[in-house]
Chain A
Amino acid sequence: MSVLASGEFWAFVGVVAGIYTILALGLQVEFGFAGLLNFGHVAFMAIGAYTMAILVVKAGLSTWLAAPIAILAAAVAGVLLGVTTLRLRADYFAIVTIAFSEIVRYVATNEDGLTGGSQGTINLAKTGEAADYNVEWQRFEDWLQGILHVGSNDVAMLVLVWACALSATALVWLAIRTPWGRVLRAIREDEDAARSLGKNAFGYKLQALAIGSALAGVAGVFYAWQFAFFSPGDFAPLLTFFAWMIVILGGVGRAWAVPVGALVFGVLFAGTRFFDFVPFTWFDSAERAYLRLILIGLVIIGLVLFRPQGILGRREELVLE
């Protein structure tokens, strides 16, 4: 019970919530603003994380160079996916994006030489050595910790991730208020009307995918930095569904709803660890993990049934059809 009061723990939860914010923000751009049913979003996070790890450990790049390249790689992958699949009808597109994310996970699991296989990037680094990207990052965190005068690396990371998440949210918010954003919103609601007014709907949707995927790539890079070692199992479809839940929970189509949704989600998810009352006491900690996910599933269903506009959305602007 004393863990509940532990700042360390909540700092950690905060970092994860921040990473999820960036991931979900990408999805908000793709779905909330452009109307794309991307159910393979986590694939781009994986591409970001793995690209950076591989570039640093295998190609010897500095992590500060590898990270932007990784983000770019995620964006390019998004564009490639879009070019091949955006012309499909919405429900096929959704299924194909899931297939895509599973392909990425399969490749990561089986190409041992490239990605370390199912055990993950721990196989990339030589035994006993921490992955280089993590070493460089730790050094940066120590420096940051000193500058900020905070107690631990996790808090330093917390500040950094949230600075990034909030800036990204602000940028997205600004972007959607431009004429560019206006076209995007129009396309989401009625693509044919937009086309009849001279807008290249396909091009705009591709841009949304590129931006969304880049944001997922950023989340992936932060994930790699925070967790040092990761494996393909970390990028299962479950994460995509978490991102979806965050977007809906906060409110579809509103940039600032994403950090709100992520925080609520983070607290919900982590907080259930500490329910020390019946019926939770009937289960041991391994079983509580399943219970948590059952709770998430019920929340998704509940949201769809009772509050599809999420926390910050308004009924009249309901964008979740």
Chain B
Amino acid sequence: MFLQLLANGLVTGAIYALAAVGVSLIYGILRLVHFAYGDVMTFGAYVGVLCNMTLGLDLALSVVLAMLATAALSVVLEPVLWMPLRRRRAGFMSLFLASIGLALVLRQAIFLAAGPQPRSFDVDPFKVHTLGSVRLSGAQAIAIVIAVVVIVLVGLMLGLTSIGRTMRAVSDDRALAAIAGVDTGRVVLLTWVVAGLLAALAGVLAALVQSSFDPNFGFALLLPVFAAVVLGGIGSAYGALAGGLVLGVATELSTWESLGGGVDPVYKPVVAFAVLILVLLLRPNGLLGRAQVA
């Protein structure tokens, strides 16, 4: 049972980690706590399901299209919303509120376009992979493999490529980077693209694992993702990764009966929040975070 829960936790954690890296990049480089990110994930899942179910396309192709569409959405919003806000020297509060407005618009637009009824991808829900005492559904298996691969790729990009190093430099000190001649415009655009791709992927994978979803599901995911980002230390992409995995595993393991009866599975999100609050009480800057600089 423990191993099963651990496996489930790793799947959930991997999905959290994907989204958390996206959120963290946006915070680090754009200084924005992106409250609409969950709904961007929902958008990705819905485009995916549109391609897969309505247009009858192959699942892999649908996922790719979903990722492209979401990246496009993210990029379009930059000149439409975020740049005008930055030009008006919007601070943390204004950006946060704008993202709340955006979240509302996105989610209700999806409700409007697709209706409230739950949707599913075209996957066999009964296909099961067995690994020793652990059973994984087809969706879970896909999710964890893809998530791990993508996380490694993103990690490599940030660590090894010049653009990745540039992104990290901008994340550390934007003004300084601009003075040093870094093309912050290019970095910003790339950030939106990467964050959009990650959001769509996380959204689709989560939708697959959940098997059915409605327009609210992205937001429900967002809070544990925020918790993961804060847990790992806001602005640190590697921290977000660690935070996501830790939270995913902790949430699943909390339902283990050997832990004093275990937590009622219904309360799993509450466990995520409780973990967040507890960690922050002990380490106010998160697990891997640094103290806020100015």
Contacts and interface: CB of A to CB of B under 8 A. Distances in A.
Interface of A: 37, 84-85, 87-92, 94-96, 98-100, 102-103, 106-107, 110, 238, 241, 244, 248, 283, 287, 290-291, 293-294, 296-301, 304-305, 308, 320-321
A110 B266 CA distance: 8
A300 B94 contact: no
A290 B216 CA distance: 13
Nearest to B99: A301
B13 to A, nearest CB: 18
A95 B90 CA distance: 19
Contacts of A283: 112
Contacts of A92: 230, 234, 280, 284
A99 B277 contact: yes
Interface string B137-173: 0000000000000000000000000000000000000
A95 B108 contact: no
A106 B96 contact: no
Contacts of B109: 290, 294
A94 to B, nearest CB: 7
Contact of A294 (B90, B108, B264): B108
B105 A248 contact: no
B131 interface: no
Interface string B39-82: 00000000000000000000000000000000000000000010
Contact of A89 (B264, B273, B292): B292
Contacts of B93: 37, 320-321
A299 B93 CA distance: 16
Contacts of B134: none
A88 B105 contact: no
A291 B96 contact: no
A320 B94 contact: yes
A301 B105 contact: yes
B33 interface: yes
The 5 closest A-B pairs by CB, nearest first: A297-B104, A300-B101, A321-B91, A297-B105, A99-B273
Interface string B212-242: 0000000000010011001000100000000
A244 B108 contact: no
Given A244-B97, A244-B100, A304-B98, A91 B92 contact: yes
Give the one of B93, B96, B277 with max A CB within 10 A.
B93
B104 A96 contact: no
B96 A94 contact: yes
A306 to B, nearest CB: 9
B262 interface: no
Nearest to A299: B101
Contact of B111 (A98, A290, A298, A308): A290
Contacts of A298: 101, 105
B104 A110 contact: no
Given A91-B33, A95-B226, A99-B227, A304 B90 contact: yes
Contact of B88 (A37, A102, A291, A305): A305
A304 B97 contact: yes
Nearest to B274: A103
A294 B103 CA distance: 9
A89 B280 CA distance: 10
Contacts of A87: 284
B246 interface: no
Given A96-B276, A102-B223, A290-B112, A110 B105 contact: no
Interface string B266-280: 110110011011001
B284 A297 contact: no
Give the one of B92, B267, B270 with max A CB within 10 A.
B270
Given A91-B234, A98-B223, A241-B104, A291 B112 contact: yes
B108 A290 contact: yes
B270 to A, nearest CB: 5
A99 B101 CA distance: 19
Contacts of B84: 305
Contacts of B284: 87-89, 92
Nearest to B220: A102
A293 B226 contact: no
A294 B269 contact: no
Given A94-B33, A102-B223, A110-B266, A321 B102 contact: no
Contacts of B33: 91, 94-95
20 contacts: A85-B277, A88-B284, A94-B33, A95-B276, A99-B227, A102-B223, A110-B264, A283-B112, A287-B112, A290-B112, A291-B108, A293-B104, A294-B108, A294-B112, A297-B102, A297-B104, A300-B101, A304-B85, A305-B88, A308-B94
B10 to A, nearest CB: 23
Given A320-B91, A320-B94, 5 more contacts: A99-B276, A294-B109, A297-B102, A301-B101, A301-B105
Nearest to A93: B280
A283 B90 CA distance: 35
B282 to A, nearest CB: 12
